[in-house]
Amino acid sequence: MVNGTVKFFNRVKSFGFIAGDDGKDYFVHVTGLKPGVAIDEGDKVTFEAIAGEKGPKADKVEKI
């Protein structure tokens, strides 16, 4: 699991980016959030890093 901070999340477009504590930026889509989780800019989160089509992607995202 990787920890990070939400850079932004657009609820209308259902995606955003997370700045990982490992120095990488991760794409996050609403489908990558655990059920019942809603994220906003500045939230501290933990997630599973996976390989996306265009780069690192966050999956199983939850607040910490």
Pick among 1.20.58.340, 3.40.50.300, 2.40.50.140, 3.40.718.10: CATH of 2-63: 2.40.50.140
Using DSSP bridges, classify how beta strands 55-63 and 2-10 pair: parallel, antiparallel or unpaired: unpaired
**pLDDT number for residue 39:** 97
Which residues make beta-bridge pairs with 4?
Answer: 20, 45
- Alpha-helical runs (H) found in the chain: none
pLDDT digits over 16-31, tens only?
999 999 999 999 999 9
**pLDDT number for residue 58:** 98
pLDDT digits over 34-49, tens only?
999 999 999 999 999 9
**pLDDT number for residue 59:** 98
**pLDDT number for residue 60:** 98
Q: What burial letters (b/e) apply to 41-64, b meaning 16+ CB within 10 Å?
A: eebebbbebeeeeeebbbbebeee
